[in-house]
């Protein structure tokens, strides 16, 4: 493999890492702060992508508006789902998994029946291609990196600097104590879950141009996002970022050498081994035990 090809793979791998970070952030937040595995997450990506298609491609709204609509719609959907279904199953792992899987099934089959099997294509909002020597990158991928960094920064700000973020963290640390202080933890749960779902919708809308929008879009992200969560752990957002980079860069480079499926298998094996060595995630925050 030549040097230029390697650098090309590394660059696309890096942009891919940010995309993976964006697509798994919602999952990490819901798992990390609520101990709920949201199997419907990847189907929310699919829903977000469809929203982006109808808002941006069909209705010709500006792309930022499409992102905002996707976030808002998924957030509201999250509120409904949390109040109706998820809130009954806190602390019951099997039931949560089954319930969220049922939701994902309903979403996927609903999309199939509503929108049909046809592929939809969303145009690139920006179409230039940057070239640096032999390495090129589509400008939209740079935009995606930007979106991803923005979302990460906002999430960090939201969780660590705002009042509601403080409530979220305190609910995670000690629910009964938080309740004693007069904070409605049920409302906090709803907000946390809906925020995670909203991020999933936003990410789905953002990745719509680089993927074919179809009912099975969620499935193709399932493996990578869940591997990412397992490897990065849930205790720090930085761990998620690091594991996104590791996973996507290795997949990108190994795909260049053989093919993407072999790459995924090798990465999964590595993830299994890493999880054994660092069960709490790559970068564990110092917690008192």
Partner 1 sequence: MRERLKKIPVNKYIDLALFLFLVTFPLYQKTYWIYVMSGIMAYMIFALSLDLLWGYTGLMSMGHSVLFGAGGYMVGISCAYLSEASWIKYDRLPWFLTPLSSEIGAFIMALVVPGIIALFIGLFMFSGKIRGVFFSLITLALAGIAELFVINQSTYTHGDSGITITSRTVLSNSADKRMTDFGFYFVVFAFLLAAYLLCVLLMKSRTGKVLKAVRENESRLQFLGYKPASFKLFIFVVSGMMAGLSGVLFVRVQGSINYTAIGINLATLVLVWVAVGGRGNLTGAMVGTILLQVAETILNSTFSNISADFAQYWKLALGVIILIIVFFIPKGFVGTLVEAEQRRKDRNRKERILRKGGVNGNG
Stretch that binds partner 1, among 2-10, 47-55, 131-139, 265-273 (CB under 8 A): 265-273
> For residues 86 and 193, is the Cβ–Cβ distance under 8 A?
yes
Return the residue of 80, 98, 129, 153 that touches partner 1, per CB under 8 A: 98
Strand 129-132 relative to strand 135-138, pairing = antiparallel
Return the residue of 4, 5, 59, 95 that touches partner 1, per CB under 8 A: 95
Return the residue of 44, 122, 227, 251 that touches partner 1, per CB under 8 A: 227
Binding of partner 1 at residue 230 (CB under 8 A)? Answer: yes
Output the smallest distance, CB 263 to partner 1, in A: 10
Q: Which long-range contacts (CB under 8 A, 24 or more apart) does 124-129 make?
A: 124/209, 125/56, 125/63, 125/209
Binding of partner 1 at residue 80 (CB under 8 A)? Answer: no
Choice between 137 and 270, CB closer to partner 1 = 270
d(CA 261, CA 273): 19
Choice between 20 and 122, CB closer to partner 1 = 20
Binding of partner 1 at residue 99 (CB under 8 A)? Answer: yes
Choice between 46 and 122, CB closer to partner 1 = 46
Binding of partner 1 at residue 97 (CB under 8 A)? Answer: yes
Return the residue of 173, 259, 284, 285 that touches partner 1, per CB under 8 A: 259
Return the residue of 14, 79, 83, 89 that touches partner 1, per CB under 8 A: 89
Binding of partner 1 at residue 85 (CB under 8 A)? Answer: yes
Stretch that binds partner 1, among 4-12, 55-63, 138-146, 256-264 (CB under 8 A): 256-264
- At residue 229, φ and ψ (nearest 5 deg) are -65, -40
Binding of partner 1 at residue 105 (CB under 8 A)? Answer: yes
SS (H, E, C) the chain: CCHHHHHHHHHHHHHHHHHHHHHHHHHHHHHHHHCCCCCCHHHHHHHHHHHHHHHHHHCCCCHHHHHHHHHHHHHHHHHHHHHHCHHHCCCCHHHHHHHHHHHHHHHHHHHHHHHCCCCECCCCCCCCEEEECCEEEEHHHHHHHHHHHHHHHHHHHHHHHCHHHHHHHHHHHCHHHHHHCCCCHHHHHHHHHHHHHHHHHHHHHHHHHHCCECCCHHHHHHHHHHHHHHHHCCCCHHHHHHHHHHHHHHHHHHHHHCCHHHHHHHHHHHHHHHHHHCCCCCCCCCCCC
Binding of partner 1 at residue 128 (CB under 8 A)? Answer: no
Binding of partner 1 at residue 265 (CB under 8 A)? Answer: yes
Output the smallest distance, CB 106 to partner 1, in A: 4
Binding of partner 1 at residue 222 (CB under 8 A)? Answer: yes
Return the residue of 1, 3, 180, 261 that touches partner 1, per CB under 8 A: 261
Binding of partner 1 at residue 257 (CB under 8 A)? Answer: no
Binding of partner 1 at residue 219 (CB under 8 A)? Answer: yes
Task: Determine whether 124 is exposed, middle or buried from the number of CB atoms within 10 Å of its CB (0-12, 13-18, 19+).
Answer: middle
List contacts with partner 1 (CB under 8 A).
37, 39, 85, 88-89, 92-95, 97-99, 101-103, 105-106, 108-110, 112-113, 219, 222-223, 226-227, 229-230, 259, 261-262, 264-265, 268, 271-273, 275-277, 279
């Amino acid at each position: 493999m030549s040097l230029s090809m390697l650098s090309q793979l590394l660059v696309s791998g890096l942009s891919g890492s940010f995309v993976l970070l964006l697509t798994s952030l919602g999952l990490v937040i819901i798992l990390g702060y609520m101990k709920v595995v949201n199997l419907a997450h990847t189907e929310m990506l699919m829903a977000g992508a469809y929203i982006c298609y109808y808002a941006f491609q069909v209705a010709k709204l500006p792309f930022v508006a499409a992102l905002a609509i996707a976030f808002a719609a998924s957030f509201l959907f999250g509120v409904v789902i949390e109040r109706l279904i998820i809130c009954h199953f806190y602390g019951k792992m099997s039931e949560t998994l089954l319930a969220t899987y049922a939701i994902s099934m309903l979403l996927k089959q609903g999309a199939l029946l509503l929108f049909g099997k046809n592929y939809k294509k969303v145009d690139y909002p920006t179409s230039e291609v940057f070239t640096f020597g032999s390495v090129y990158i589509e400008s939209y991928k740079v935009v995606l990196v930007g979106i991803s960094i923005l979302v990460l920064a906002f999430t960090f700000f939201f969780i660590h600097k705002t009042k509601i973020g403080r409530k979220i963290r305190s609910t995670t640390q000690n629910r009964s104590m938080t309740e004693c202080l007069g904070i409605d933890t049920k409302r906090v749960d709803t907000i946390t879950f809906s925020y995670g779902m909203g991020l999933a919708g936003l990410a789905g809308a953002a990745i719509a141009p680089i993927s074919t929008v179809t009912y099975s879009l969620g499935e193709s992200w399932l493996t990578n996002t869940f591997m990412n969560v397992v490897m990065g752990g849930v205790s720090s957002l930085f761990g998620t970022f690091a594991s996104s980079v590791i996973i996507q860069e290795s997949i990108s480079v190994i795909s260049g050498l053989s093919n993407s499926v072999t790459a995924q298998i090798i990465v999964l094996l590595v993830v299994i081994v890493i999880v054994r060595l660092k069960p709490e995630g790559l970068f564990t925050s110092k917690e008192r035990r």
